[in-house]
Structure 1
Amino acid sequence: MASPPRNTRRALCTFITIFLLLAGLAVLIVWLIYRPHKPQFTVLGAAIYDLNTTSPPFISTSMQFTLVTRNPNRRVSIMYDKLTAYVSYRNQAITSSLALPPLYHATKSTVTLSPVLGGAGVPVSVEATNGLVMDEAYGVVALSVVLLGRLRWKAGVIYTGRYGVYVKCDVWVGLKKGIVGQVPLLGSPQCKVDI
């Protein structure tokens, strides 16, 4: 069998090259139009109902944080799956993880979350317990609200795969022994969001 003429091979290679360049350009344009931006999280309020450090190495707490999340995307919505929240002190969890319901975040929208975190005693190190007692006596406690989960982006009828999301909100709260309920936030910084 004879090989195809040289001009036919050259035309086929040119066609494949042009097709791949146009397909790559189309993918780049779609990505630039629908490129998703990370959601933004901010802590707006905090309430501490219980903080019991009298049974080392266990701490039992009951806290509520009001978090506001904003979807900055104009064309892409966000769907959160398997989102959990907990509070940490000096990089140690002082509340057990709480599973939050699935969340749909429409384009250019804001959603408020106010989970109550805590309950039964959580084991922590002696250093963390002592540090928490000292900070409470001083009147200022540095806490971190952490959200873990998975999210999907939705652009029109297109869904992406699931991506892991890690949100860490470092907050300073004014806390005096014996005061229960709403506590002052000393600043309201943006949270760090990793996807």
Structure 2
Amino acid sequence: MGDHQPQPHLNGAYYGPSIPPPTKTSHSHGRHGGGGCCGCLGSCFSCCGCCILSIIFNILITLAILAGIAALIIWLIFRPNAIKFHVTDAKLTTFTLDPTNNLRYNLDLNFTIRNPNRRIGVYYDQINVNGYYGDQRFGNGNVSPFYQGHKNTTVFGSKLEGQSLVLLSGGERKDLDEDLKSGIYRIDAKLRLRVRFKFGLVKTWRFKPKIRCEIKVPISNVNTTSGFVFQRTKCDVDF
């Protein structure tokens, strides 16, 4: 009665607990964020050049914004107004073109420069005055450097005298014939400048503005009496 009966042999498969799959080892080679190197700033310099370019770009944008803010603050403090140039007087005694295209000229010019600003001074490091007839330059003169203070009007003169080879086009020669008959010559005085502005103790870098003065000058010699009087002329300023 106390004997144990042998259990039957199991010929089928045994279904026990499932075996977990093997853990896969990830070889990221130092990459972060699934293949992008720019997700972690700490490793940018060692793994990816795009992060360096991004940092440089952000720095440049920041500097540009700061420069714009500084310029706006300076403008609000000093409120700069445009410098004004005028030709106040001009005297032409010689302006003749011989058959060999040699132009003889004698022209005296007086200029004024008005600085209307209360807190800005101007250093005129170079002033070069050029005479043009049409598109042809015929003479030049230099003016000594000077400093112009606040709310100041400065007067200076320049003399263009000599002779120069001038090759006029057909239209320019026709204009010269008309000016010769009327006794009034259409001449351009162009100024080439190098200037610096002074804001308190701060001096700016050099600017190279271009000044153009379109004038009509009567010839004033003993053989002509046109009756035309030179008019004060405002110049165009291009910074």
Normalising by structure 1, what TM-score? 0.76
Q: Quick check: 1:59–1:129 contact (8 Å CA) kept in 2?
A: no
* Corresponding position of 1:56: 100
Partner of 1:125: 168
If asked which structure has higher relative contact order (CA below 8 Å, sep 6+), I would say 1
Q: Does 1:79 align with 2:156?
A: no
Question: Is 2:146 aligned against 1:103?
Answer: yes
Q: Percent identity?
A: 27
1:137-191: CA deviations, max 9, x gaps? 12222111111021100111100000111111111123377349xx721x32311
Once the two structures are overlaid, the 10-residue window that deviates more, 74-83 or 55-64, is 55-64
Q: Label 1:105 to 1:122 Cα distance change in 2 as closer, same or farther (>3 A).
A: farther
* 1:53-104 deviations in Å (ceiling 9; x for gaps): 1243221211001111101111001111221001112132122x22221121
CA separation of 1:23 and 1:124: change in aligned 2, threshold 3 A: closer
Which residue identity does 1:146 align to in structure 2? K
The one-letter code matched in structure 1 to 2:149 is: A
The answer to whether structure 1 residue 184 and structure 2 residue 184 are counterparts is no
1:126/1:58 CA distance change after superposition, 3 Å: farther
Distance of 2:67 and 2:158 partners within structure 1: 46
| Matching residue's letter, 1:111 | T
> Aligned to 1:163, which of 207, 214, 229?
207
Q: Are the equivalent residues in 2 in contact too, given 1:137–1:176 (CA < 8 A)?
A: no
Q: Return the offset for 1:108.
A: 0.5
Compare CA radii of gyration and give the structure with the larger one.
2
- The 8 Å contact of residues 149 and 165 in structure 1, kept in 2 or not, is answered as yes
Structure 1 residues 64 and 24, CA gap change in structure 2 (3 angstroms):
closer
Change (3 A) 1:86 1:35: same
AA aligned to 2:229 is: P
Give 1:111 shift.
0.8
Give the structure-2-normalised TM-score.
0.63
Question: 5+ unaligned residues in a row in structure 2: which ranges?
Answer: 1-62
Aligned residues: 173
1:116 to 159, 162, 167: 159
- CA-atom RMSD in angstroms: 2.7
> Aligned to 1:33, what secondary structure does the other structure show?
helix
Segments of structure 1 that go 5 or more residues without pairing to the other structure are 1-19
Task: Choose between structure 1 and 2: higher strand proportion.
Answer: 1
Question: For residue 38 of structure 2, what is the aligned residue in structure 1?
Answer: none
What is the letter of the counterpart of residue 205 of structure 2? G
